[in-house]
Amino acid sequence: MRYDRYLLPLALVLVWQGLSLIKAIPPHLLPSPIKVLSGLRDLMVIGMPPGHLLPYHILYSLYRVALGFAFAALLGIPLGLLMGGSTRLRRIISPLIELLRPIPPLAWIPIAILWFGIGIKSASFIIFLGAFFPILINTISGVTSINPVYFEAARTLHANPKHIFFKVLLPGAIPSIFVGMRVGVGIGWMTLVAAEFTGVKSGFGLGYMIMTARDIQRPDEILAGMLIIGLIGVLINGALRAYESRIVRWQ
């Protein structure tokens, strides 16, 4: 049944609503689903802060993620392909990567603000850091996991290095590259919201919206905002997946 996947969330929502109706859950801590939906309506029509409507928050956040992600992919994929193809290069660069990778992107916030000030540059930088490492690591492993026999088959067909790159290395690595991108954008999306907690210049952004809702004690809008964030995450992932299956039809 295709609708299996909606059973559990639906059940949870029903239980939650039921518990709220009988006042088993304090409404100022956890508003009922219906209250959350009305909060969602308020976000769209009134805005939080008032006048800043939900669609604009979404757009600003998406823009920051897109920017950070684009840089992460533009740097991570070529570097990953080069490092995947060269043991020597891997040996030289890996220690630096391994040192930087465990630092949570959010730990970079103070230095990002110092370097770029508050605004889109620092926010995108944090997202870039979140997305970069999964993209790089997956691209490298995409290359190194290509069965060597394919390189040999190409050699017996007299492939020069350009052929090897476009006919073996790139197609062989693309599935992993997509995995890296999906993980990267997922992490990027998560770090964005937190990065926005620190403040945005424009006054728009989903993280900023939630923080403002907290400041004036509107838990219904907080939850509505979280719901939107989750849904957008699902949509982004789904979109990438769909794009991926069009490009990678051979698996």
CA dihedral sign of residues 86, 87, 90, 92: negative
What tokens were used for 77? 């994929």
> In terms of CB distance, is 56 or 165 closer to other proteins?
165
Maximal CA-CA distance, the chain = 76
**How far is 10 from 12, CA to CA, in rounded Å?**
5
- Binding residues for other proteins, rule: CB under 8 A, are 147, 149-150, 152-153, 155-160, 163, 167-168, 171-172, 174, 248-251
CB of 160 to other proteins, least distance (A): 8
CB of 40 to other proteins, least distance (A): 44
> In terms of CB distance, is 144 or 237 closer to other proteins?
144
CB of 156 to other proteins, least distance (A): 4
Question: How are the residues of the chain apportioned to helix, strand and coil, as percentages rounded to the nearest 5?
Answer: 80, 0, 20
* Residue 152 burial (C-beta neighbours within 10 Å; 0-12, 13-18, 19+): exposed
> In terms of CB distance, is 152 or 215 closer to other proteins?
152
CB of 152 to other proteins, least distance (A): 5
CB of 146 to other proteins, least distance (A): 10
Buried b (16+ CB within 10 A) or exposed e, 117-132: eeebbbbbbbbbbbbb
> In terms of CB distance, is 73 or 174 closer to other proteins?
174
> In terms of CB distance, is 6 or 166 closer to other proteins?
166
